[in-house]
Copies of this chain bind each other. A is one copy, B any other.
């Protein structure tokens, strides 16, 4: 069913092995680093990675954000955030109140203690990350940033296409 070099022979499966191998390598890198960071956070601060990530989102905004915002930024489900926030409020890291203008909305913020705790963790965390990437030259880092930006765009486009 192969026709000629002009006509597309759709029946012939193309080779996509390189992309697959790239994806697996990307996944390996992330899993490896994530595991390392998770372990260090646990050993050093007795905190989980999702909690740390959530606090990192909140540290960027003084006035807090809604659960939906957090959910979008962290790319996790709404229900997930509900539980995560519940535990962090319980432990005194987060402050939660219902919006004055829209009673559906919950606004969460870091408490004073929560922010201090996060800053302490974040400082070390940044050094760990630098250590993990220490074999990469500044040029490598820039190039990787560029290619991952491209990857991100490509992935978003593919996801959007499917969502229609």
Taking Cβ atoms with an 8 Å cutoff, the residues of A that contact B are 13-14, 16-23, 25-36, 39-40, 75, 123, 126-136, 138, 140-145, 147-159, 161-162
Contact = CB atoms under 8 A, between A and B. Distances in A.
Given A16-B126, A16-B127, A25-B152, A32 B136 contact: no
B25 A129 contact: no
22 contacts: A18-B138, A18-B142, A19-B126, A19-B130, A19-B141, A20-B126, A22-B148, A25-B148, A26-B30, A26-B33, A28-B75, A32-B152, A32-B156, A35-B75, A36-B158, A40-B162, A131-B158, A133-B154, A133-B155, A135-B151, A135-B153, A136-B147
A159 B21 contact: no
A149 B30 contact: no
A44 to B, nearest CB: 11
